Chain A
Amino acid sequence: MLLTISTTHSPATDLGYLLHKHPDRCQTFDLSFGQAQVFYSEATVDRCTAVLLLEIDPVRLVRGKSGFSLDQYVNDRPYVASSFLSVAIAQIFGSALSGRSHDRPDLVTRAIPLKATLSMVPCRQGQNFLHQLFEPLGYTVKTTQHSLDEQFSEWGESRYFSVELDAKIQLKQLLSHLYVLIPVLDEDKHYWVGEEEIEKLLQHGDGWLATHPEKVQITRQYLKRERTLTQAALAQLIVEETPNLDVAEDTHNQEEADIEKSVSLNQQRLEMVTSTLKQCAVKRVIDLGCGEGNLLRVLAKDNFFEQITGIDVSYRSLETAQKRLDQLLLGSKQRERIQLMQGALTYRDRRWDGYEGATLIEVIEHLDLPRLAALERVVFEFSRPKVAIVTTPNVEYNVKFIALANGTLRHKDHRFEWTRQELQTWANRVGQEFGYTVRFEGIGSNDPIVGSPTQMAVFEQSVL
């Protein structure tokens, strides 16, 4: 990875004094993760460019770590600006970073014309984010985004930029900005992020971070999105007003923006399902595809429900669900009602027998359409709950979501989304085949033309 710092300050070769590195020598530094060279590609009175060239040992990076992942050897780390570069800046340009210079003590505190180039900066949030980070600090920002592979233009752009930053600024400030913002852009620190990172952030952010319009995002990303650390850092950064992280998250995370405005719709869905279960006098419920336990938490708090079982195929989701249930601090009697089990909706499972109600909340659309036949038999032929509630997106409503491109589904893993007619056709057929009567309802705001965002089918076992 590569950083250059140039100046047109006169005499430009003073840069050598500021960096404590002689312009006519190439110096090598050993670092724990590799090697660095500092040399000058140009050094005239008019213009001087110092180069920090960092070579990371890719084999050492992989060996000694436990666990495997294919990306370790084939890895961009040796080539892109990352937290390794911040460490190198601190170690190799340590004096300059802290604003010390033996020979030019006065120059240290002066703003001089400086230009920094970074040949490969990863930035998932795109070009605008680079501007949003550096422009408030007074830089003129020039960026070039690179394609993934010029021979395969259909693969599109990479997340890498060549970046040029121009400003009249103190060298110390430039280095501090880079020290903090490079890892913010890269979002992949090579070391464990703990309390001491807050110290570093506050130290190097001194004088500029507190007033930076993107301070929340910078803090979050610098601290690897560790919520408690971020909260603590922000509290120290701005004593009077600690912004609410959840709001920040919503405003900043465009790519994660939930198309459905999930808080309200999700809430409505859970309420609707819960009240339907109650109407049907279902006290023993099995939530098939419980995920991280959204519905389970609602049911758990309601003592109407006597037995609550959550099933999911993802073990990790079940672990999260368990943690979230633990956070409810239920009494032991309440807790005894709840259990979680790994299971799959396409396998018959005798542990599901004997429940009054089964819920499949936003589940069926995650199954390949041809596999639905197995689910039907597993649930309606074998488990045979008295009541089954199925909710799934109403695809007709998708036109209402501005953020959703035409014809795309709401979630990457959705294998299908149905119109109201499609759900009804399916559900009525299933009901007839397995002896259930079915009624349908919409959940969420009801549009006269496209209906509600979520649709619900309630199956009730027909009385013979």
Chain B
Amino acid sequence: MKLTVPELSLVVLIGASGSGKSTFARSHFLPTEIISSDTCRGLVSDDETNQDATRDAFDVLHYITAKRLAAGKLTVIDATNTQADDRKTLIKLAREYHCIPVAIVLNLSEKLCHDRNQQRPDRAFGAHVVRRHVQNIQRSLKGLQREGFRHVHILSTLEDIQSARIERQPLWTNRKHEHGPFDIIGDVHGCCDELEALLQTLGYDPIPTAESRQFADFASYRHPQGRKAVFLGDLVDRGTRILDTLKLVANMVATGDALCVPGNHDSKLLRKLKGQNVRVNHGLEQSLAEIEALSEETRSPFVQDLQKFLDSLVSHYVLDEGRLVVAHAGMKQAYQGRGSGQVREFALYGETTGEIDEFGLPVRYNWASEYRGTAMVVYGHTPIPEPVWLNNTLNIDTGCVFGGRLTALRYPEKQLVSVPADRVYCEPIRPLIVPQAAGELTPQQEVDGVLDITDVLGKRIISTRLQRNITIREENAIAALEVISRFAANPKWLIYLPPTMSPVETSTQPEFLEHPAQAFAYYRKQGIAQVVCEEKHMGSRAVTIVCQNIEAASKRFGVTDGSVGICYTRTGRQFFDNSALEAEFLTRVQTALSNSGFWEEFQTDWVCLDCELMPWSAKAQGLLREQYAPVGRAARVALTDAVALLKQAQQRGVEVESHLQHYQQRSHLADRYVAAYRRYCWSVNTIADLKLAPFHILATEGAVHLDKTHLWHLHHIAKIAQADPQLLIATAYQVVDLNDPTSQEAGENWWQTLTQQGGEGMVIKPLDFVVQRDRGLIQPAVKCRGQEYLRIIYGAEYSMPANLERLRQRGLSAKRSLALREFALGVEALERFVAKEPLRRVHECVFGILALESEPVDPRL
């Protein structure tokens, strides 16, 4: 006996104690799909037969059921469910999650059940219990449909039960196995001329008629590459070729060249055809007139076929492994792939706020502005002048029948194709073209203006393309929230934060804490053949975003305060307090980009650069005044005084030679320490005092440039720098062949020269920006700092042998793991921004980097 069960249903087993429900459930469903009241009794009371625990047990049962249904999982309730009241709760639950309630009744005789119970030691209750169960079931059988079960299967004999076979029926809406590519077409409303033109533009060809078609008297269309058209409904009403449109679409559906979901107009026409009392307005009169105009003998079979076609339309489709959802009026996440009256209602009409606008039309509740689903939703229903993405949803009804255009979205290309309307077929009640002010924000930018706290707070797991699942711990999020909300710039600008960078492994050479040899060894071990060594500029990290003009800043970033870009620190804080200086700075970079032909070459009107901004003292004033300078001053005075006194003592003949030498050396180191920080300090009065060294072209319109080598980056940056050598510095670099000792030596010597001249050191990177190995990402870069520079990190006297020996004990693994996680998040943020994902998706990554930065890692690394 075949029992049909929709794939997303709540299966309620009904049967007396001893009827064999559990055995039945086990033999047809996964153990995890079955929730048994006995198990729940056990969970809450350690005793599966404890009737006193029934109430709590059912609380648990309902709770688990709700979670499963919310997640879209078929669920089987293994309980006696003999009373209508018990079943009512379950049906309500199924409805709440838009799942289909199914009843399977094990309708066995009282005697059989009783005998079975007798054989089980844990069922020592009287015969009256089973009798009552059986009586209740008998009474319920007829009313189960009425109670709300959409499928009712009654198994009244042991043979029935033994021969039962469950057939899981895919939901009508489930077309996940269809991967397209698709051409999704908006509301046609009988504009068949435009539809035919659009189909041809999209590359569809008319194909000869064949018997298989519903309407053999009319053409169908087929794409030579097997693309499929998807119609978003509202085929009928208002236009001039309504029946042609219907025939065309129905034919394409019949031959498998198209899918179609119903619109509210289609649905209303269907109700009219079925003889229901509907008001004939909003263009329905045109549809009816076309039908009326058919000849007597063709009309009736046509209407029958039409009715059949409209009746067959499914509220919405979930396509391409759940990545795409199509529906006439949209589909919120909780309804996707579900089937219920409410879901169908939503698909046809969307949601309204209950208010009426100035044109007397219901105010639509903008479900898309709150949409958080991962599936792209494409819909129509509301005519709009221009399709605009909002939270991964797109309305493509460009009001063809009102004189607009008929628009298609190519999927997965995300490309819009449209043909203009021949004329205005119907005057819209609400004007279609709302004049859009220049610089006005898109709906997405409008929504992005306010981020939601739930997108950042609490423990979070972020999936990135480079590293799966990066966990942000709650306490780190707490710290990051404070930093970001008190100090960070407008989140619309924050599309990236630079990751922390690990130093090389600690050197074992005397006098060195860090040395390039370890960097080379590290990358050689990872199987890298060539690395690039870039001079490390000692300034402050500065992410610089520059747009070609103010319009680009508004269009691409949704920033409308007239700024043309931004320069921010590694914690997302605006670099300049002085907005005039910032504007001047950004204009200079912008001019350099223009003069070097950057915009044309990259086909972009904005760029995000990863840079170092000099001098260090520009941003590190606090640190210098509170820490570096005072320590230098204290050391120099105290040690100079000590040396003077020791010399006096020595002149008196006191034996202090070794102490004198020691203090002279310390005094010398103090001087070197002061010299070390001074190199990176100069006053900034005008822009002429600033130097910017970009080293990564992170992203431009449509592209994250992390697929290019570092040589590519350096090459293009050098070109920009040439356009303004006053402000911009091209980073010096050397390529080192890790299989060639001479090349390595040259690299080491270069580092020596750089650092002896007062340079901070260098950064060593594989030529490729991103390198994956079997065990995951490898460090995208390691830094190797010079001996003198390290004085301002580890203190003036770190280089004394006794100190150095102890400082070699430092662990890098925490830092390296952090560097990789931050790198992966940074890349993810850029990729998401470039893919025009909602800001919250970008912000999540940027926030994550800041949160990770609050992890306790030795800050000297």
Residues of A within 8 A of B (CB): 1-2, 4, 24-26, 37, 39-43, 49, 51, 53, 58-59, 63, 67-71, 73-76, 78-80, 119-120, 122, 146-149, 151-152, 154-156, 158-160, 162, 313-315, 342-351, 366, 368, 370-371, 373-374, 377-378, 381-382, 413
Contact = CB atoms under 8 A, between A and B. Distances in A.
Contact of B795 (A73, A344, A368): A73
A149 B633 contact: yes
Nearest to B561: A370
Nearest to A73: B795
Complex A-B, nearest 10 residue pairs according to Cβ-Cβ distance, in ascending order: A344-B485, A41-B648, A148-B629, A73-B795, A79-B634, A79-B638, A347-B453, A119-B641, A349-B453, A41-B645
B631 interface: yes
B793 interface: yes
Contact of A70 (B490, B633, B859): B859
B424 interface: no
B452 A149 contact: no
A40 B654 contact: yes
B795 A147 contact: no
Contacts of B678: 149, 151-152
Contact of B656 (A26, A162, A373): A26
Interface stretch (B460-468, B620-628, B757-765, B778-786): B620-628
Contact of A314 (B453, B455, B482, B655): B482
B634 A374 contact: no
Contact of B654 (A24, A146, A313): A24
Nearest to B662: A55
A313 B481 contact: yes
Interface residues of B, number: 67
A342 B860 contact: no
A2 B450 contact: no
Given A42-B648, A347-B485, 19 more contacts: A40-B652, A53-B642, A53-B646, A53-B659, A58-B803, A59-B807, A68-B857, A119-B638, A120-B634, A148-B629, A148-B630, A155-B629, A313-B486, A342-B478, A346-B485, A350-B454, A374-B449, A377-B449, A413-B486
A120 B859 contact: no
Interface string B435-462: 0000000000000011111111100000
Contact of B490 (A69, A371, A381): A371
Contacts of A58: 795, 797, 803
A43 B857 CA distance: 52
A381 B454 CA distance: 18
A377 B450 contact: yes
Given A160-B630, A348-B453, A2 B793 contact: no
Name the residue in A42, A120, A351 with the highest tally of chain B Cβ atoms < 10 Å from its Cβ: A120
B297 to A, nearest CB: 59
Nearest to A346: B485
B470 interface: no
Contacts of A73: 793-795, 798, 860
A349 B452 contact: yes
Nearest to A67: B856
Nearest to A41: B648
A63 B723 CA distance: 49
Contacts of B23: none
Nearest to A347: B453
A73 B629 CA distance: 14
A154 B803 contact: no
B859 to A, nearest CB: 5
B637 to A, nearest CB: 6
Contacts of B481: 313, 342, 344
B683 interface: yes
Contacts of B654: 24-26, 39-40
A163 to B, nearest CB: 12
A162 B637 contact: yes
B633 A2 contact: no
A273 B625 CA distance: 41
Given A53-B642, A149-B674, A119 B637 contact: yes
A42 B49 CA distance: 97
Contacts of B489: 368
Contact of B482 (A67, A315, A373, A374): A315
B208 interface: no
Nearest to B479: A315
B858 interface: yes
Contacts of B797: 58, 78
Contacts of B154: none
Nearest to A69: B859
A59 B806 contact: yes
Contacts of B490: 370-371
Contacts of B794: 73-74
A438 to B, nearest CB: 21
A311 to B, nearest CB: 10
Contact of B638 (A1, A68, A148): A1
A360 B453 CA distance: 18
Contacts of A343: 453, 457
B631 A41 contact: no
Nearest to A162: B637
A131 B273 CA distance: 103
Nearest to A369: B561
A349 B646 CA distance: 67
A347 B633 contact: no
A51 B629 contact: no
Nearest to A80: B634
12 contacts: A2-B638, A2-B641, A41-B648, A51-B649, A58-B803, A68-B859, A76-B635, A146-B637, A147-B633, A154-B683, A313-B481, A347-B453
Contacts of B656: 26, 37, 39
Contacts of A154: 683
Contact of A160 (B625, B633, B792, B793): B633
A235 to B, nearest CB: 36
Contacts of A315: 478-479, 482
Interface string B669-688: 00000100010010100000
B471 to A, nearest CB: 19
B485 to A, nearest CB: 4
A2 B803 contact: no
Nearest to B559: A370
B450 A347 contact: yes
A158 B630 contact: yes
Contacts of B655: 25-26
A384 to B, nearest CB: 13
B632 interface: yes
Name the residue in B451, B628, B637 with the highest tally of chain A Cβ atoms < 10 Å from its Cβ: B637
Contacts of B143: none
Contact of A43 (B635, B652, B793): B652
Contacts of A370: 490, 561
A59 B453 CA distance: 43
Contacts of B628: 74
Interface string B695-717: 00000000000000000000000
A157 to B, nearest CB: 10
A370 to B, nearest CB: 6
A2 B642 contact: yes
